[in-house]
A = this chain, B = another copy of it.
Amino acid sequence: MGMIGGGRDSFIGDVHRKAASIDGMIELVCGAFSSSSEKSVKSGMDLYLQEDRCYGTFEEMILKEAELPENERMDFVAIVTPNHMHFEPAKMALENGFHVICDKPMTLTLKEAEELQSIVEKSGLLFALTHNYTGHPMVKQAKELVSNGDLGRIRKVQVQYLQGWLATSVEKTGQKQASWRTDPKRSGIGGALGDIGTHAENLVEYITGLKIEELAADLGVFGDGRTLDDDGNILLRLDNGAKGTMSISQIAVGEENNLAIKVYGQKGSIEWHQEEPNKLITHWLDEPVKIYTPNGNSLYPMALETSRIPAGHPEGYLEAFATIYKGFAKDILALINGEKDLEGQYPTVYDGLRGMKFIYGAVESNKNNSAWVKL
């Protein structure tokens, strides 16, 4: 694995590296960690990389690595830069024969997303998007309960992703994470929408197997001097007639990463909370509440297979993230081994495009005083 972005003071780069390492299938071999060549080398040295594989630019990394012998060069690129730096590296990596795993939202603009989709399709290479929350065993179990019909036809969805870290104008203090996320040039047209709304949108579509057909959004900009949304309240209509709400916020004081979802069918319902990810709460027409746990009783295979350790030993954020990397690595390995049937257990360019459509749809609806917009 070669990494683009993720230098010394990056938060998400470190997460990607830890996640990639957990299952012992992936080794970081090179990186273009920073736009400054010097910083890139320093970051790489921190990580015990060879100095000559710590590159000053992603272009250099891609070209130099492509020249290395096949069994030496990186197998894929991990892109962990801010949003405006996703498309170009992804494009170039794919065009030079490297698989790509990329942070979300997929691109800066919808146009880029559409273009990237066609680049991926032409390339025949793998592209994964790190909607990491879909890696949790209990999210898998939820998906299975829906797809196996246990819940019956889905009628209602509630999803929220609430944070409070932008409740004050921390971007004015030089906080790096806040700075680019509140800057349209680096973040795109969505603020909270892109950063956390896309996770909420993806989780709904992943678990239900349905599409958000249309939405009506009322976005808020509460932070002093901000131009991008830091809060959003959204009505949802899914493509099977189900309805729902989405609430996202980065100004919800005191909330840490309160991503949660409820899905109600005709016969049963599920409830999952990211901050306590090892419980899946389910309700039923005629039975008591049932709670599933990773590696616990009565799980579907997909939930069992993604549980690493014995029941009652909590897995967390990094492990779920690692499950995305593991799925991606398995498919790369399968390709290397000449296998044809890939498992595809990770979000793809199509999920990335859905995310961008969601952002654009919500912004458009909000401009039109919350009129319904089809995605």
Interface set of A (CB-CB < 8 Å, partner B): 11, 14-15, 17-18, 21-24, 47-48, 151, 155-156, 158, 160, 163-165, 167-168, 216, 218, 220, 222, 231, 233, 235-237, 243-245, 247, 249, 251-258, 262, 264-269, 274-278, 282-293, 296-298, 308-319, 369-372
Contact = CB atoms under 8 A, between A and B. Distances in A.
Contacts of A245: 233, 245, 247
A344 B264 CA distance: 40
A157 B369 CA distance: 19
Closest 8 CB pairs of A and B: A254-B283, A256-B312, A257-B312, A314-B316, A316-B316, A313-B317, A289-B291, A256-B311
A298 B286 contact: yes
Contacts of A314: 274-277, 314, 316-317
Nearest to A286: B297
B276 A287 contact: no
A301 to B, nearest CB: 16
Contacts of A291: 288-291
Nearest to A219: B243
Contacts of A167: 266, 285
A22 B11 contact: no
23 contacts: A18-B22, A21-B21, A156-B220, A167-B285, A216-B218, A233-B236, A245-B245, A249-B264, A252-B262, A252-B269, A253-B264, A253-B266, A255-B264, A255-B312, A257-B312, A277-B314, A286-B297, A287-B297, A288-B290, A289-B290, A316-B319, A318-B319, A371-B371
Given A155-B251, A247-B245, A47 B24 contact: yes
A233 B238 CA distance: 13
A312 B258 contact: yes
Contact of A253 (B23, B253, B284, B293): B284
Contact of A243 (B218, B255, B292): B218
Given A231-B155, A251-B156, A370-B235, A289 B283 contact: no
A172 B313 CA distance: 25
A61 B346 CA distance: 39
A218 B23 CA distance: 41
Given A22-B318, A168-B285, A314-B314, A254 B268 contact: yes
